């Protein structure tokens, strides 16, 4: 038997993985996945892009590129992010192999085994898994409908010694909780962390998928505020606005952090896929990104509204949820004492799956929530599947 | 200033990176890179593949895939590796984001900070960088023209306590040394390591690029021998036989190691690029891989022979080198006391670059060698550039 490292003892297979195999069963209705529906990918636009590539560009697509990204994509993405209000000029951009790699690189840059890091509960499972792989101690701050609990954050900062290495959070259309942080909470976070040498990792994978333009001012990122006295590491992704199969994300970080992250990325995979980068670059340059995002935003809104309507009409009144205003997820709260895994088992019997709450709990314990996605099911399937989940709940809890 | 982790203190920027910027200067002749020439990529074949994809396949190319790889590529690659004699059935295959990621995952699976690992000197810089990122202690075994020094390996095994976590080696057309391991040395390695719980990581990126079919029996991999009592982790890559820009490699490992590696990969980038995987799968299924490898093998042979001939005709007689019989590299030995960095400085003045020996030395010290690649320069450029390197050496050392 080989002698494995101790540092991987923390890694565990998540329920999500097992669900994924169910989710691809064509007889199963899946509200489990966090991926776009296959039918929504911009296949025609990518065809246009591929067919417009010169021989030279195709060669570049097959070749190694610089560790931090192809210069042409760094340029077009910089312009794109700047047009959205991000402080591109006094920060540096790295293209990563999905935004999970960006989070992983930042985790490696800051975490030594045993180091505490601040995370929301519930939190994005991919980030938790990468922090665990770095042997971080996960210090949790509960999430409410306006963002993280500020008095508990304050308490964690006061009590925790050594002080946390960073704070990781998802500002908009939270995965799994679906919420938008209010400007007040973000401002209080900044005020609490300023001058404390605790960077913020701001993971913004969903912002483009808002239902209501009126929410935009509220959704302003901490990175956009560009606050003094605090390092903000902003991460983003092409997964929701082009396709996760390209495996492309990015980080926008201060120069001192950039230099460490570049070295770490070099030891991980040398560079991100050039073929994907060439396509993403053209996707931005040709302006396809705007037309495509507008299109999917409309579609996700239709699905989200259908989800809200169906949930409202068929859930027992003791199950509550925050109405999503964008993104991919609804987050249902069962009454105290109920167990989402019991509901899941019953739901599977009825041919439908979702993800249980404890999957997103850094402590793996709290299980009175259910994440029900609306990204990967059309309206008709929502109408068909949600009543089955409601039925499963009623059979268990009346 | 953010408080970075201690575990990245080991990472340093390599000379190679700085060289890369020189290497892309169109006025500079570069023998530095370890990448295929742009003109050699199978652009037409990839066009054929892209244009033959169904809408469903294109959707799969844009979507997340399973962490261990797209089932269709796992199938076609398994068949391909099995046809080459690899024991696919009693092992498991993982598709990785380049073979560097495979090495990185294996490093994470075995190394805790301070753990010793056995590496050749000289050794592949990417592997060294990833072992350093895991804070391994690099225990070196010198390389000769027939493979690693067996008596020193024996000595390292006898003296090292705690015992090394694994042995990493490159069996064929070594990077940078260009050598092929003899069957005798491989057998002695196996005999020394058997029963010691020291897995072998066998990194085979270059085997397909042999000049002489008669070398094939000699090149038989330890993984092919499938020895009892020793875990062999075999890694390979599409970088040299299709294109590094796809970022696709693989590992073929025993089941117990597979299960750890799957979890680690999940925390790194969730899955490898699907678009790349769809293309690589068709590249194998359509049989393009055979015609293409035959074609580039011929071309690299021409370049390698031109390199040998030019080196023989213009190097001072005190510079020696092993004639390459495949792969990408020649490895020149300067007399004792000479410094490859001095040669490099002078060569750059003359408009030509290569990589200095110390880059590949785990201790970063020994600098009496030069890696001169022939993969990325046509014959005319070899004829033009190599005399400039010879001139630089003569000007320094007579």
Q: Rounded to the nearest 5°, which phi and psi values hold at B198?
A: -120, 95
Which among A4, A260, A272 is the nearest to B247, CB-wise?
A272
What's residue A22's pLDDT? 62
Cβ burial, residue B218 (10 Å; 0-12/13-18/19+): middle
Name, in order, each residue with C-beta under 8 angstroms of B9's C-beta and a sequence gap of 6 or more. Answer: none
- The C-alpha of A346 sits at a distance from chain B's nearest C-alpha, in angstroms, of 26
Q: Are residues B97 and A273, on separate chains, in Cβ contact within 8 Å?
A: yes
Is the per-residue pLDDT at B9 higher than 80?
Answer: no
Q: What is the mean pLDDT of each run of 10 residues along chain A (398 residues)?
A: 77 58 76 94 98 98 96 98 97 97 97 95 96 94 98 93 94 98 98 95 97 98 96 97 97 96 92 98 98 97 98 97 97 96 96 96 94 96 98 96
Q: Rounded to the nearest 5°, which phi and psi values hold at B329?
A: -130, 145
Which ipTM did the prediction report?
Answer: 0.94
Which of the two residues, B23 and A119, has the higher pLDDT score? A119
Provide, as residue numbers in chain B, all residues whose Cβ is less than 8 Å from the Cβ of A258.
Answer: none
- The C-alpha of A99 sits at a distance from chain B's nearest C-alpha, in angstroms, of 8
Provide, as residue numbers in chain B, all residues whose Cβ is less than 8 Å from the Cβ of A104.
Answer: 267-269
What's residue B161's pLDDT? 79
- The C-alpha of A14 sits at a distance from chain B's nearest C-alpha, in angstroms, of 9
The band of B153, judged by pLDDT with boundaries at 50, 70 and 90, is very high
From the list B319, B392, B383, B379, the residue with the least C-alpha distance to B353 is B392
What's residue B26's pLDDT? 77
What's residue B326's pLDDT? 98
CA distance B357 to A289: 46
Q: Rounded to the nearest 5°, which phi and psi values hold at A339?
A: -125, 120
What's residue A21's pLDDT? 60
Q: Are residues A110 and B62, on separate chains, in Cβ contact within 8 Å?
A: no
Q: Write down the H helix ranges in A70-218.
A: 71-83, 99-110, 125-133, 150-159, 183-193
Which among B110, B165, B270 is the nearest to A100, CB-wise?
B270
- The C-alpha of A110 sits at a distance from chain B's nearest C-alpha, in angstroms, of 4
Is the per-residue pLDDT at B64 higher than 70?
Answer: yes
CA distance B130 to B213: 33
**What residue in B sits closest to A67 (Cα-Cα)?**
B17
Q: Are residues B6 and A112, on separate chains, in Cβ contact within 8 Å?
A: yes
Name, in order, each residue with C-beta under 8 angstroms of A192's C-beta and a sequence gap of 6 or more. Answer: A150, A153, A154, A157
| Residues B233, B257 contacting (CB under 8 angstroms) | yes
What's residue A24's pLDDT? 63
Provide, as residue numbers in chain A, all residues whose Cβ is less than 8 Å from the Cβ of B269.
Answer: 97-98, 100-101, 104, 247, 269
CA distance A191 to B269: 33
Provide, as residue numbers in chain A, all residues whose Cβ is less than 8 Å from the Cβ of B11.
Answer: 260, 263-264, 266-267
CA atoms within 13 Å, Cβ hemisphere of A347: 29
Which among A5, A64, A231 is the nearest to B244, CB-wise?
A64
Question: Could you report the per-residue pLDDT of B299-321, keeping only the tens digit for each?
Answer: 999 999 999 999 999 999 999 99
What's residue A229's pLDDT? 94
Which of the two residues, A306 and B20, has the higher pLDDT score? A306
β-bridge partners, B6: none
| Residues B197, A3 contacting (CB under 8 angstroms) | yes
Q: Write down the H helix ranges in A233-339.
A: 255-268, 274-285, 288-314
Provide, as residue numbers in chain A, all residues whose Cβ is less than 8 Å from the Cβ of B272.
Answer: 247
B327 sits in the region (left: phi over 0; alpha: psi -120 to 50; else beta) called: left
Return the axis-axis angle of helices B379-397 and B288-314, rounded to nearest 10°. 30
Provide, as residue numbers in chain A, all residues whose Cβ is less than 8 Å from the Cβ of B245.
Answer: 60-65, 273-275
Provide, as residue numbers in chain A, all residues whose Cβ is less than 8 Å from the Cβ of B46.
Answer: 58, 62
Q: Are residues A41 and B62, on separate chains, in Cβ contact within 8 Å?
A: yes
Q: Are residues B100 and A268, on separate chains, in Cβ contact within 8 Å?
A: yes
What's residue A27's pLDDT? 85
Is the per-residue pLDDT at B18 higher than 60?
Answer: no
Is the per-residue pLDDT at B20 higher than 70?
Answer: no
DSSP annotation of A335: P
pTM of the predicted model as reported, rounded to 2 decimal places: 0.95
- Interface mutation target, options A67, A104, A266, chain B, most CBs of B under 10 Å: A266
Is the per-residue pLDDT at B51 higher than 70?
Answer: yes
Is the per-residue pLDDT at B202 higher than 80?
Answer: yes
* H or E element in which residue A393 lies: helix A379-397
Q: Are residues B272 and A61, on separate chains, in Cβ contact within 8 Å?
A: no
What's residue B369's pLDDT? 97
Which among A112, A263, A269 is the nearest to B97, CB-wise?
A269
Is the per-residue pLDDT at B15 higher than 70?
Answer: no
The band of B281, judged by pLDDT with boundaries at 50, 70 and 90, is very high
Provide, as residue numbers in chain A, all residues whose Cβ is less than 8 Å from the Cβ of B58.
Answer: 41, 43, 46-47
**What residue in A sits closest to B105 (Cα-Cα)?**
A268
What's residue A1's pLDDT? 74
Q: Are residues B247 and A274, on separate chains, in Cβ contact within 8 Å?
A: yes
Positive or negative torsion for Cα A217, A218, A224, A230 = positive
> How many A/B residue pairs have CB atoms within 8 Å?
243
Provide, as residue numbers in chain A, all residues whose Cβ is less than 8 Å from the Cβ of B126.
Answer: 267, 270
What's residue B49's pLDDT? 98
- The C-alpha of A175 sits at a distance from chain B's nearest C-alpha, in angstroms, of 16
What's residue B93's pLDDT? 98
Provide, as residue numbers in chain B, all residues whose Cβ is less than 8 Å from the Cβ of A126.
Answer: 267, 270
Q: Are residues A272 and B11, on separate chains, in Cβ contact within 8 Å?
A: no
The band of B23, judged by pLDDT with boundaries at 50, 70 and 90, is low
Provide, as residue numbers in chain A, all residues whose Cβ is less than 8 Å from the Cβ of B111.
Answer: 5
Question: Could you report the per-residue pLDDT of B71-84, keeping only the tens digit for each?
Answer: 999 999 999 999 99
Which among A1, A46, A271 is the nearest to B256, CB-wise?
A1
Average pLDDT, chain B: 94
Q: Are residues A8 and B108, on separate chains, in Cβ contact within 8 Å?
A: yes
Name, in order, each residue with C-beta under 8 angstroms of A183's C-beta and a sequence gap of 6 or more. Answer: A217, A218, A220
Spell out the domains of chain B, with CATH numbers in brackets.
6-42+290-397 (3.90.1150.10), 43-287 (3.40.640.10)
């Amino acid at each position: 038997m080989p002698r494995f490292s101790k540092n991987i003892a923390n890694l565990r297979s998540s329920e999500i993985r097992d669900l994924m195999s169910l989710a691809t069963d064509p007889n199963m209705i899946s509200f489990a996945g966090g991926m776009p529906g296959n039918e929504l990918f911009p296949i025609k636009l990518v065809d246009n892009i591929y067919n417009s590539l010169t021989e030279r560009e195709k060669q570049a697509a097959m070749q190694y590129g610089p560790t931090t990204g192809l210069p042409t994509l760094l340029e077009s993405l910089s312009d794109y992010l700047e047009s959205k209000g991000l402080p591109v000029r006094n920060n540096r951009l790295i293209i990563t192999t999905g935004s999970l790699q960006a989070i992983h690189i930042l985790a490696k840059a800051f975490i030594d085994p045993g180091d505490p890091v601040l995370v929301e509960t519930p939190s994005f499972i991919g980030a938790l898994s990468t922090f665990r792989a770095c042997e971080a101690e996960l210090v949790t701050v509960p999430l409410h409908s306006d963002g993280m609990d500020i008095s508990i954050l304050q308490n964690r900062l006061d009590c925790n010694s050594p002080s946390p290495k960073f704070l990781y959070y998802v500002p908009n259309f939270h995965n799994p909780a679906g919420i938008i942080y209010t400007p007040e909470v973000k401002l209080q976070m900044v005020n609490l962390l300023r001058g404390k040498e605790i960077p913020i990792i701001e993971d913004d994978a969903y912002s483009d998928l808002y239902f209501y333009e009126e929410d935009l001012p509220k959704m302003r990122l901490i990175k956009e505020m560009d606050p003094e006295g605090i390092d903000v590491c902003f991460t983003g992704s092409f997964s929701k606005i082009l396709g996760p199969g390209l495996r492309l994300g990015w980080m926008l970080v201060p120069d001192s952090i950039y230099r460490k992250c570049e070295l770490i990325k070099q030891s991980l995979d040398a560079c991100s896929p050039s073929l994907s980068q060439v396509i993403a670059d053209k996707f931005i340059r040709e302006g396809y990104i705007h037309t495509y995002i507008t299109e999917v935003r409309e579609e996700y809104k239709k699905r989200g509204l259908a989800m809200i309507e169906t949930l409202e009409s068929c859930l027992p009144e003791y199950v509550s949820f925050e109405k999503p205003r964008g993104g991919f997820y609804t987050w249902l709260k069962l009454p105290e004492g109920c167990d989402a895994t019991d509901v899941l088992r019953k739901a599977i019997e009825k041919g439908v799956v979702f993800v249980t709450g404890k999957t997103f709990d850094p402590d793996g314990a709290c299980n009175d929530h259910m994440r029900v996605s609306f990204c990967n099911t059309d309206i008709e399937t929502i109408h068909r599947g949600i009543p089955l989940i409601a039925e499963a709940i009623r059979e268990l809890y009346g």
